[in-house]
Structure 1
Amino acid sequence: MDHNEFFTFETGQATDVGCKRTVNEDNFLSRPDCGLWVVSDGMGGHAAGDYASYTIVQALNSIGMSGSPDDLQARFMERIHRANHDIYEHALKMQRGTIGATLVALLVHGEDYACIWSGDSRIYLLRDGQLVQQTRDHTELRMLLDSGAITAEEAENWPRKNVITRAIGVTEEPHCDVISGKLALDDTFILCSDGLTEHLSDADIADHARSYAPKEACERMIRLTLERGAKDNVTVVAMRCLPPPELEEEDDLMDDVLELDQTNGEDRA
């Protein structure tokens, strides 16, 4: 487990090709030492989608240590621009149509976090027992819902749920959305490809995030997705904010002091 001056980060991750596919086009990256967690879901078929998601995580793996939240975001976006260019040029050379990958990333520096995304992979935050989706899907379905063209009930059975409106590598410049906030103790973030959310509800995800440590939560969510048919590749990364080592040691010391005081009190009585 890695940590900064405010938190220790406990991380879990798992991926599977699923029940229908032969190649896993998902890639993920966990770099708690740099304050970075990433899931990327490739599109474009074998030797294309997997190339796109791999190019993204490889570019981000060089992010290094940052001096501030702004510096971390700047480093991140510089590498995403580079990966976007490489994927876009690769598609032109291959002449096989569109190649790209969705992206969700959690960036942490000190007490600050940012969620950056492009596409329909998601980030959730479990805080005080409540699971809230941090990202907003870049999909045709979400656009129709937001515009009022269809109702939530109609969306349940919409035939084109997975048509995405953004991805890294499909246009000359990458287009991402960003939200930011402050971390709290026991926050748990879940990053996942749509292969997970196709089969698991928000309630399923919340239940696993509440009930298990990150590693076991990820493994159990993958297992449940496979049991339910796993039509797509499926990837999930979980990160929980725990106290920093210094604070944990201080708490243990205070417990020892309290125990000693109680014992002395009993002796005096």
Structure 2
Amino acid sequence: MTGTVVPACTSHFVSHRGSVRSLNEDAYLEAPDLGLWAVADGMGGHEAGNLASRLVIDALDAVQPATAPANMIAQVQEQMAAANRHIRSLSEQRLQGRLTGSTVAVLILSGQTAVCLWAGDSRVYRFRDGTLTRLTRDHSRTEEMIALGLLTTDDEADPRYANIITRAVGTEEHVELEQRVEPLAANDVFLLCSDGLTKVVTDAEIAAMIASGWSSAAAGLVDLALKRAATDNVTVGVVAFSGTDDDPPTLVRA
């Protein structure tokens, strides 16, 4: 677990392999000096997913400081295009053509703007004035069925479709990141997570955990997922804007 404090933001991330899997194929990035955070969830098994998510995060770690959100967005898109090429090359050269890839959910805070960029079913939420809002839309077969009116909630999803992702980094020749831009308000709290959390924890429980104290929410949500015998890797990151920590700002590492 790590935490970082900068004048505008404080963040805490926790990642665990879960109760079943022997390898954690999730990865995450905290780059508060850039106003950049991300979660990646690798797919493919046998360490392929671990390599894919690591390539995604390493590519994002190469992003340079920028003065405007548009410049940051352009860099993230370029780096994800590069990661896409690297993962496809990995598949061809080291994995005998076996398909691998990684979801990615990116949060950029720049000026008075919050930007989400994503591919797959890792998510970004915003907690504002007591209300939790999901800012990302899953690229999944389940979400497609909801959009078509065949399902009304994730809870009704056919288990056969639960793990079918329709967009990710490395699975197609070109990667397309979906984008959402929102105004940033004082006291906004953002949560990034892999689907290992949302498979076993509800949005209402996420909101309640943040409301009870955001600085312990990442650890608390991972613990809750583990108590429910999480079958997937679980990664949770919480980012608070404008000094909304429960305690005075200090540098925390653990």
Whichever residue aligns with residue 145 of structure 2, its letter is: L
Asked if 2 retains the 8 angstrom alpha-carbon contact of 1:131 and 1:202, the reply is: yes
Separation in 2, partners of 1:137, 1:192: 12
Amino acid of the structure 1 residue aligned with 2:135: Q
1:27-106 map, 5 Å: 27-93=27-93, 94-106=95-107
For 1:47-87, what per-residue CA distance to the aligned partner results, in whole angstroms no more than 9, with x for missing partners?
Answer: 21000000010111111211211111111111111111000
Query: Which one-letter code corresponds to 1:35 in the other structure?
Result: G
Q: CA offsets, 1:123-165, max 9 Å, x none? A: 11001100010000100111111112x1326952512222110
- Structure 1 runs of 4+ with >2 Å offset: none
> In proportion to residue count, which structure has more helix?
1
More displaced, 156-165 or 60-69?
156-165
Match of 1:264 in 2: none
- 1:152 partner SS: coil
> Percent identity, aligned pairs only?
36
For normalisation by structure 2, the TM-score amounts to 0.90
Tell me the SS of whatever aligns to 1:10. Answer: strand
Shift of residue 181 of structure 1?
1.2
1:46, distance to aligned residue in structure 2 (A): 2.6
Per the alignment, residue 22 of structure 1 pairs with: 22
| Mapped partners of 1:190, 1:45: distance in 2 | 26
Residue number in structure 1 paired with 2:163: 162
1:115 corresponds to which residue?
116
3-state SS of 2:125 partner: strand
Q: Do the aligned partners of residues 170 and 157 (structure 1) sit closer, same or farther apart at CA in structure 2, a change above 3 Å counting?
A: closer
Q: Check whether the contact 2:142–2:157 (CA below 8 A) recurs between aligned residues.
A: no
CA deviation vs aligned residue, 1:228-265 (integer Å, no higher than 9, x gap): 01110000010011259xxx9xxxxxxxxxxxxxxxxx
In structure 1, distance between residues paired with 2:177 and 2:76: 11
> Which position in structure 2 is the counterpart of 1:174?
175
Amino acid at match of 2:188: D
Q: Which amino acid counterpart does residue 17 of structure 1 have in structure 2?
A: R
How far apart are 1:198 and its partner, in Å? 0.6
SS at match of 2:79: helix
Distance 2:235 2:97 in 1: 26
Q: What residue identity is the alignment partner of 2:227? A: E
> 1:74, 1:171 → 2: CA distance?
20
Counterpart residue number, 1:141: 142
Q: SS of the counterpart of 2:127?
A: strand
Amino acid at match of 1:45: G
Q: Unaligned 5+ residue runs, structure 1?
A: 249-269
Aligned mates of 1:243, 1:165 — CA distance in 2: 37
What residue number does 1:208 align with?
209
Matches within 5 A, 1:176-191: 176-191=177-192
Distance 2:180 2:105 in 1: 12
CA separation in 2, counterparts of 1:77 and 1:154?
29
Distance in 2 separating the partners of 1:213 and 1:145:
30
Q: TM-score, normalised by structure 1?
A: 0.86
SS at match of 1:89: helix
